[in-house]
Structure 1
């Protein structure tokens, strides 16, 4: 048997909010100083009439009142770990330095991605495939919390197939948003979804940056400087992503950039938008700290 980590248990109680709060407060006295900051991390196994967030709030308030310490979820001096197994709660207090911190020495890429309008051609075909593809794409764009998703068909499309795709997109966006809303320590933003013919959208947004993600373009690393100029000077950057059929060649002449992110590899429709966003965030990361969320020029 192998253990990922072993924690010393400083208190045990029944798995009720009141008893866990009292036990944690007692354990924290003498282990967390008034000049320190702390965070509560809760893991639940079993069915309970409360959530992990409920435990974090109640236990955190009890520890704060007992010690005079402040709460710091991102970089705490001490961590109060609450492990709930069915009707039993185990409480451990350990140094915050034991945690791997996701954001140490890094800045978030959200201000960069919040400028991106993903313009996605719909996946059309068998109805179940349309629905499943829509769900995956919806989850991906919500995962990155982009400015907006525009579903952009070209010409005449089969309405039922498009409807299934759109329903899948809504389902994917909502399911991922609910996860973010419950787990993030900041307010998550639901990505709005729009529908517009691709050619009309390109005409309407000719004054804005338009980036086509297709294999005919330059590799993204070679156009990083130009890409940065487009993001730095604009509130909205339109990133066009194809589907079973690529972006029509006639659209290329309106594009500020045609970009390839994986030469020699054909990306599946459900991964194309996510791959493009990861590539953009990667090549512009060092410069993106200069951006403010939603800022920029016209």
Structure 2
């Protein structure tokens, strides 16, 4: 779509922008000799807030086109104006050369911000961009005040696309995405491959949560002064909640001073609460809140042995996890619960290693600090299990 060749029809374009109020736009004009040519919007570029002018400047330097940051006062947006460019090629080149650009959308239609006009725009585009069996989705970003919502646009535009040849809608993994960027009184319509959107999940991408939810962490507490114990506890709490393990058991194994132990426990609980509150706001799925218990390490090991629940101990004296990954996989395949023991400062007692089903070292040659041990060990185990899931 657009003229062929990635070269402007004229060099030395000088553009001027008219005064704008929010939602009202006037295209810039290029002065070519004595002729004033109105430049047309050809791209909508989104960027992080505060980087609009930086990104616009980079676009101008790289391609010699006019780029208007924050059109109509709308943050996070840049409108690129050009003439004589292959819009699709410009989109591809800009995406690969301007790192500040979050999303680059070629403008195929610019219409009044009206549901019927948007409908006609996508209806006319559909035969040109959609194969007979390709799925699609509609994504709308609306800025300004309107009598309709973004959902209204998605529903209306989706129905109009389907009316052409009945293509299936796939909101999760579409072959093509119709983008409707509504800026004040104008709606810009674009179409891109669905692959331009980075997704958290896709077919055959392993989900390690099912394995992590089997893990009970037995963590020997970090005991120094109360404040240091508290800080390490916060980091461990945030880590185990990030992985959403089945349970955390704090496991002293000798008589300890109550004050630093109390600081450690307080830090763990606060770390879990802090991370959990972020997860519940950010995730669309239900979040598992990690329960915390206190149990003597030796009694915990004895209890799990008697109930035939597998125990994996972690130690610099263990086998490299990459060498025993089949054993790790076998344990998780055959068990609903797995106890993973993590030491602190002096490591785990030798008797505990002897009573474990497997002793692993996740990073040979490196002694992990207590506050990073849990996330490092969980990452290593999850990596082994994810590799197996994807085989």
What TM-score, normalized by structure 1, do the two folds share? 0.75
Give the length in aligned residue pairs.
269
* Matched residue, 1:142: 241
Answer whether contact 1:150 1:196 (CA < 8 A) is retained: yes
Asked whether 1:98 is paired with 2:189, we answer: no
Residues 32-51 of structure 1 correspond to what in structure 2 (within 5 A)? Answer: 36-38=135-137
Give the Cα–Cα distance (whole angstroms) in 2 for the partners of residues 199 and 172 of structure 1.
Answer: 26
TM-score normalized by structure 2? 0.59
1:63 deviates by: 1.2
2:211 aligned with 1:112: yes
1:128, distance to aligned residue in structure 2 (A): 2.1
Match of 1:282 in 2: 383
Identify the match of residue 218 of structure 1 among 315, 319, 338: 319
Shift of the alpha carbon at 1:123? 1.0
Q: Evaluate the alpha carbon distance shift between residue 162 and residue 65 of structure 1 in structure 2; reply closer, same or farther with a 3 A threshold.
A: farther
Structure 1 residue 226, shift from structure 2 partner: 1.6
Task: Give the whole-Å Cα distance in 2 for the aligned partners of 1:123 and 1:174.
Answer: 19
The alignment partner of 1:194 has SS state of strand
Question: Which deviations, in whole Å up to 9, do the C-alpha atoms of 1:120-167 show, x marking residues without a partner?
Answer: 111111222212111111111111111111111112122221122112
Where does residue 19 of structure 2 map in the other structure? none
**Cα pair 2:115 2:156 within 8 Å, conserved:** no
Cα RMSD after superposing both structures: 3.7
C-alpha distance in 1 between matches for 2:111 and 2:299: 64
Residues 122 and 189 in structure 2, CA contact (< 8 A), matched pair in contact too: no
Q: Tell me, in whole angstroms, the C-alpha distance in 2 between the residues paired with 1:128 and 1:164.
A: 7
- Residues 190-201 of structure 1 aligned to structure 2 (within 5 Å): 190-201=289-300
Query: For the Cα contact (< 8 Å) 2:136–2:178, is it kept in 1?
Result: no
Aligned to 1:67: 158
- Taking structure 1 as reference, are residues 155 and 178 closer, same or farther at Cα in structure 2, changes over 3 Å only? same
| Structure 1 pair 222–166 and aligned structure 2 pair: CA distance change class (3 A) | same
**1:7 has 2:105 as partner:** yes
Match of 1:187 among 253, 277, 286: 286
Contact 1:28/1:67 (<8 A) preserved = no
The equivalent residue for 2:79 is none
Whole-angstrom distance in 2 between the partners of 1:182 and 1:171? 17
- Cα distance between partner residues in 2 of 1:250 and 1:43: 64
Cα–Cα, structure 1 residues 167 and 263, in superposed 2: closer, same or farther, change >3 Å? same
Contact 1:121–1:241 (8 Å) recurs in 2 = yes
SS at match of 1:222: coil
Deviation per CA, 1:195-232: give whole Å up to 9, x if none.
11111111111121111100111111121122222111
Structure 1: 5+ residue stretches without partners: 14-18, 45-57, 291-298
Higher mean displacement: 278-287 or 201-210: 278-287
Q: Quick check: 1:230 aligned with 2:331? A: yes
Moved more, 280-289 or 106-115: 280-289
Kept in 1: contact 2:218–2:251 (CA 8 A): yes
Report if the CA contact (8 A) 1:141-1:191 is conserved.
yes
* 1:248 corresponds to which of 325, 341, 349: 349
By how many angstroms is 1:179 displaced? 2.1
Once residues 299 and 229 of structure 2 are traced to their aligned partners in structure 1, the CA distance between those partners, rounded to angstroms, is 23
Deviations 1:3-24 (A, max 9, x none): 43333577899xxxxx9x979x
CA apart distance, 1:115: 0.8
Q: Greater CA deviation, 101-110 or 248-257?
A: 101-110
Report the Cα offset of residue 61 of structure 1.
6.0
1:170/1:78 Cα in 2 relative to 1: closer, same or farther (>3 Å)? farther
Higher-RCO chain (CA-CA 8 Å, sequence separation at least 6)? 1
Q: Which runs of 5+ in 2 are unaligned?
A: 1-57, 59-97, 144-148, 160-167
Q: Between Structure 1 and Structure 2, whose CA radius of gyration is higher?
A: 2
